[in-house]
Structure 1
Amino acid sequence: MRLLAHVGFSVLLLLGTAWLVAAVLLTGGGPQGPQPWRYGVAVLLLSLVGLTWWRSSSRGAALSVLVGLCAFVVLWIRTVRPSTTRDWAPDLVRAARADVQDSRVTFHDLRDFRYRGTTDWDEAWKSDTYDTRELVRAWYIVEPFSGFEGAAHTMVSFEFSGDRFLAFSVEIRREPGETYSVLGGLFRQYELIYVVGDERDLVQLRSNHRRDDVYVYPVRASQERTVAFFLDMVRRMNALHGRPEFYNSFTNNCTTNLVRHLETVSATHVPYDHRTLLPAYSDELALALGLIDTDVDLEETRKRHHINALALAAQGRDDFSLLIRGRAPAAPLNRTRAPAGSPPGSSPRSAPSPR
């Protein structure tokens, strides 16, 4: 029993000390890495914990010092504030915003880049207006990351009548030279941004240039609920301009934000389990909750909605969004909006899922 208590204390002390050092070195850090003074502070804190344990020969004393130091660092962390005015990476230098008037939503700074590679593009930003009365359905997009089992980026895209699509991507707002790390995302290194734009930008970048697998799933929801989800995302996007937030790898990331929007506008409760922590499996959870519009099992659903081959064939095409769904442009005479409250898939313009 004494051995078990000793092992438990040692593990607790080790984990607490590791968190303390990581917090001091990483909190609020930028692309340049930890400043030299942080290493000095980390060494000082480690010395205080180690000396207390060695000189007092008391586990309780060492643990008390560690808890006190962690509490002090937590207070310091709370003084690190997010910003909207840093020197941002060129593809994130603008943040979308929108004006809402009745059913019409006018977006500014929508991203509409055209890529030749992941770091080579023609920059373009635009403004456009969308009418929520013409919102047909939502699409859930999953991009599993290559080389890391379970990790993924998730997005949502909204389809409007007239074959118009608008994608929302919740991301870190990088500074030049900055790259994402899960650990950095736990220590206030990145601000949160809602990137909004054309699927030829947000989807094609991932499928055709990063060459990650991309799955585009039709969402099962009424038109009324889809509109509520869309407007809730617009409200949060706008709110970040006045009250910026830090991205958090576990609690404030792409998937957790989509879950909050869903739970805000519906009675659906999304359990917080490995499928939200590891969003490459989030399509499995969405299917279990009845949120993906399909009549087949998970394996077949993934097969039908894997869009990479279609995306490569559609590269650079103006009708990219239709082609990745295996569809042709709707005939003008058939563009009749589904009645309010009816499932988006019941629209006469709805086409079969890509196979």
Structure 2
Amino acid sequence: MSYKPLDSSKVYLITGAAGFIGYYMSKKLLEQGCVVVGVDNVNDYYDVKLKHARLEQLQPFDKFTFIKGDISDKPMIDSVFEEYKPNIVVNLAAQAGVRYSIENPDVYIQSNIIGFYNILEACRYHPVEHLIYASSSSVYGANKKVPFEETDFVDTPVSLYASTKKSNELMAHTYSHLYKIPATGLRFFTVYGPMGRPDMAYFGFTDKYFAGEPIKIFNNGDFDHDLYRDFTYIDDIVEGIERLIGKPPVDAVPHKVFNIGNNNPEKLMTFINTLERTLTKALGREVQFEKVYEPIKPGDVPATYASTDLLQEAVGFKPKTSIEEGLQQFADWYVEYYKKK
């Protein structure tokens, strides 16, 4: 399937532009000469320095405008749409994290429900060509059937985070039905890579290693029933979004949902061993994590595994970066960024 470059005459609004996926998405668009308006509240859910470092890499692009603000602030969102008239909206701003949602439910409702509602309302009154928004593999909850397909039943979320993402899909469907807003929801599967989120396991494991602390593995030390994750490298996620941008749904209700995952789940222990190997290579000395095994946490699911058939059918693409390749990129970046030797 031929792939046409993005239309650089359009205005792209990226929410969560200082975030992991938002930063890479903005960068990719800017490198193609597109006009990008980035919005982010730069909250302190994780190290703010990393968010600033990402933004610093976007600042040199003269077609980049950054607005510090929260999507739950309706007047701010309305004024951004009023002033910049985005053609394409990629909503990646959200309060992330499954475990954090157990201790801090308020911020999830604020950002993921109210914030997303504000985006939908803005798209209603300032029509856009395509709204792409982040959903999550967590909507599959405790589904036993693998791989997860977009048509699967997803009414059994096991965390508030998952509930808010499922709500986003329902809200977007309603707005597409009522106001014909072309919208695409993306169920991301465990995204990783350089400049990633420090709250993610691979990043935390690396931090712990350099702090001389053991890593906690939530699988009871049961290797026959290890956690499986469909780890998806950041470049694959960005390419998937990029290809979908120019393909807004055209059905009677113009709303679609796609998985973006690696379609190749790995045991958590395989992932950890690969991370040890890639750090060994990056440092030029042997790295071995000290491991402590604990019970699975509430809200965690035993396996995530994406079927990517729909995505491939729609845009001729499926993620392909191996964990060996992706983790090497991360390890090299980490050692350089944090000046470890």
TM-score band by shorter chain is under 0.3
TM-score in terms of structure 1 length: 0.25
- TM-score when scaled to structure 2? 0.26
Return the index of the structure with the highest Cα Rg: 1
